[in-house]
Amino acid sequence: MPWWLVLFASASAAYLVLPLVFMGSRVPWDQFPAVLSSDEAADALSLSLKTCAAALAIDLVLGVPLAVALSRDWRGVGVLRVLVALPLALPPVVAGIALVAAFGRRGVLGSQLEAFGVTVAFTTAAVVLAQVFVSLPFLVVTVEAALRSRPRGLEETAASLGARPTRVLASVTLPMVVPGVARGAALALARCLGEFGATLTFAGSLQGITRTLPIQVYLARESADKTDLVLGIILVGVAALVVAATEMPARGRRRVREEEGLDDGGGPDAVDAPQSVQHVEEKAAVPLRVEGKVVERGWDVSIEVGAGEVLAVMGHNGAGKSTLAEVLSGSLALDSGTVQIGNLTADAAGAFIPPRGRGVAMVSQNPRIFEHMTVLANVAFPLVCRGFPRAQARRLARGQLRKVGCERLAARRGGQLSGGQAARVALARALVFSPRLLILDEPTAALDVEASSRVGAILVDRLKSDGTTTVLVTHDVAEAVELGTRMIVLERGRVVEDGSPAEVLARPVSAFGASLAGLNAVAGVLRIDGDGLPSIDVGGGQELTAAEASGIAAGQPVTFMFAPEAVALSSGKVVGSARSSLPATVERVSTAGGLVTVRLRFPNRTPFNARITPAALAELALAPGDEAVATVKATQVRAVGAGRSVSTAARGRPAEADTLT
Ligand SMILES: Nc1ncnc2c1ncn2[C@@H]1O[C@H](COP(=O)(O)OP(=O)(O)OP(=O)(O)O)[C@@H](O)[C@H]1O
């Protein structure tokens, strides 16, 4: 910390502490027993403690729901936040006047109560009402701030696992903000203890009935002895205890014992299920159909997935992959169209099933483990939500944990897991209730190489053995090939590739598909030269030529795809106007698998790769920054029309798939 900060911090702490120290130094400690044993002091202390406890209970019962409501976004919430915090800024005497206007004998509500024989003003109940009025905002504002800074997505996860709103609140929302509630309660209690002005105005000062400790201190100031100091220091002591108590929840958290499973013990054999574990329901896998639009996102997708298929979804950033996951999970409604999951119409005109009713499980790159629960409770959660007896839920959860190699982590807190462990626990929690549909949204993206391959192996095992219909969003082509029985590529909210991973990679029809397959893809507008050969302008007076582009008309957008092996390299400059001979600059040279990949940069064009032998590289003596000439063999260039959706059927007929018209 910088020295000036320490200086200011010390001055500020001293300013708050020293007056109390000086006050303590003037207390006649020998009078302590006499003052404490006096009726007036004993009555005041006892009344203060009783009324503060009652006011705190009311604060908690009324304040926590209000804080939850204020932490959400809805129309008018801003105005209500201001109104709720207003009593914080009011002088206590004004608060007392307001309470008299409401609950006094001639007050708006008080006169109604009088009709039923209930008098509030100048009773102990008035003391409690005054304390609640001035302390409630402290609790609400503190809890609301804690709620607004809570981790995002956990409540949505709980809902998608089947929890109803009350369970989400009780099991997830409130446990996350326990320290905030404790802090708010302590501040409210401290405010109750110190309350003076509103109480005096609204409740008066009747010994044993409304004369609280602060009022007693005030009255004692009139007397010549130092009773006020003794009573004052008692108040300081009680307040100190209250404030210190707020530190307790954080310190008092249960520490998980080492032997409760610090060794995750997830060896390869740990993925085998024990014979005793039964499935929740022997559900058959179901097919999935999505046909719909989300207009704001320019998303218009139509896909059908067979029962038990694993659909790998790939595409650039912003292509619409997460939108698909949101539409399926129920966190986003279609503007038009249908989502059909087995026999459940999850989204259609006039019918929208919220996440908890869909039986869809989602595992994303943030595993969203409930940190305040044990690992076992996390995995049992979807079953408890479905009304399973606890013992059965725990037994089934333990079996799922064993299948993902995490059984020995069962007793650990959710917040004590590594990324790889959390991903496996999230998978166990998703599969434990035999979901209709499993959505994996980049489940390994946030993991290191080792954890990623471990989770990948478990995914392969679990998807094969469970046969759950799965949508896997991934940026990793190896993951898509390994897990996917089918692959689609999304581009600008449309399906531009659809087939088995092998088909898509063997004959891609989009630039993204080409890049996945390791092909070069150069986009442009088709020209037909005088000699009838299709070409695209690649800038600088150069062109790239294909042998044919049947079905694509001149002037149409087109992508030329070719393997890096189809590019011949020579050093020096282009001589004459050789077809498809393009001047380039060497950007990068890398070696893998006994071949050399040369990354080529062009003045106004997409870079592409050439692949040559090490001997050819030695002969050409090319290094980054050198000029070279790339010649692409026209017969090895495939012309693909751009911007059309495809189907597996179209891909089965290569000539048509090529043209996509
Ligand atoms: N909450 C939102 N409101 C409006 N538009 C959004 C919202 N979220 C995403 N979009 C837009 O919808 C389109 C699709 O986004 P989406 O998140 O589905 O892409 P993605 O393929 O999942 O991308 P990434 O790989 O980066 O996660 C993008 O144009 C994006 O800007």
CB 599 within 8 A of CB 588: yes
Instruction: Give the domain range for residue 493.
Output: 291-369+430-503
Same domain as 624, residue 528: yes
Instruction: Look at residue 145 in the predicted model and tell me its pLDDT.
Output: 93
Look at residue 101 and tell me if it is in a domain: yes
Same domain as 155, residue 69: yes
CATH number at residue 315: 3.40.50.300
Instruction: Look at residue 410 in the predicted model and tell me its pLDDT.
Output: 93
CATH number at residue 577: 2.40.50.100
What is the best residue among 156, 293, 322 to mutate for testing ligand 1's pocket, by most ligand atoms within 8 Å of CB? 322
Low-confidence ranges of the chain (pLDDT < 50): 250-282, 576-577, 643-661
Q: Give the amino acid at 51.
A: T
pTM of this structure: 0.72
Look at residue 279 and tell me if it is in a domain: no
Instruction: Look at residue 283 in the predicted model and tell me its pLDDT.
Output: 63
Q: 227, 247, 267 — which closes off a domain?
A: 247
Which protein residue's CA is at the shortest distance from atom 30 of ligand 1? 318
The alpha carbon of 316 and the centre of ligand 1 are apart by a number of angstroms equal to 11
The beta strands (E) that lie in 64-155 are given as none
Same domain as 526, residue 489: no
Cα–Cα dist 254/182, whole Å: 16
Look at residue 408 and tell me if it is in a domain: no
Which protein residue's CA is at the shortest distance from atom 26 of ligand 1? 317
Same domain as 569, residue 497: no
Same domain as 528, residue 597: yes
Closest CA to 440 of 352, 321, 282: 321
| Beta strand 437-441 pairing with 360-364 | parallel
Same domain as 490, residue 542: no
The alpha carbon of 441 and the centre of ligand 1 are apart by a number of angstroms equal to 13
Which protein residue's CA is at the shortest distance from atom 25 of ligand 1? 317
Closest CA to 203 of 128, 122, 137: 122
Look at residue 399 and tell me if it is in a domain: no
Which protein residue's CA is at the shortest distance from atom 2 of ligand 1? 297
What is the best residue among 293, 321, 472 to mutate for testing ligand 1's pocket, by most ligand atoms within 8 Å of CB? 321
The alpha carbon of 318 and the centre of ligand 1 are apart by a number of angstroms equal to 5
Same domain as 188, residue 112: yes
Instruction: Look at residue 6 in the predicted model and tell me its pLDDT.
Output: 93
Same domain as 496, residue 528: no
Same domain as 595, residue 537: yes
Look at residue 42 and tell me if it is in a domain: yes
Instruction: Look at residue 540 in the predicted model and tell me its pLDDT.
Output: 72
Instruction: Look at residue 257 in the predicted model and tell me its pLDDT.
Output: 36
Instruction: Look at residue 574 in the predicted model and tell me its pLDDT.
Output: 57
Look at residue 83 and tell me if it is in a domain: yes
- Tens-digit pLDDT profile for residues 564-596: 999 999 886 655 445 678 888 999 999 887 889
DSSP classification of residue 374: B
Number of domains in the chain: 3
Look at residue 281 and tell me if it is in a domain: no
| Beta strand 469-473 pairing with 437-441 | parallel
Query: CB-based contacts of 314: which residues, under 8 Å, 6+ apart?
Result: 321, 474, 475, 477, 480, 487, 488, 489, 490, 512, 516
Look at residue 119 and tell me if it is in a domain: yes
What own/partner pairs with CB < 8 Å and gap ≥ 24 does 267-273 have? 267/405, 268/457, 270/402, 270/405, 270/407, 271/402, 271/403, 271/404, 271/405, 271/457, 271/458, 271/461, 271/462, 272/402, 272/403, 273/399, 273/402, 273/403, 273/465
Same domain as 349, residue 217: no
Q: 216, 247, 278 — which closes off a domain?
A: 247
Closest CA to 341 of 359, 363, 362: 359
Same domain as 203, residue 62: yes
Tell the residue number behind the tokens 């949101």, with chain if given: 326
Same domain as 45, residue 176: yes
Identify any residues that bridge with 426 across adjacent strands, giving them in sequence order: none
What is the best residue among 152, 299, 323 to mutate for testing ligand 1's pocket, by most ligand atoms within 8 Å of CB? 323
Q: 503, 530, 549 — which closes off a domain?
A: 503
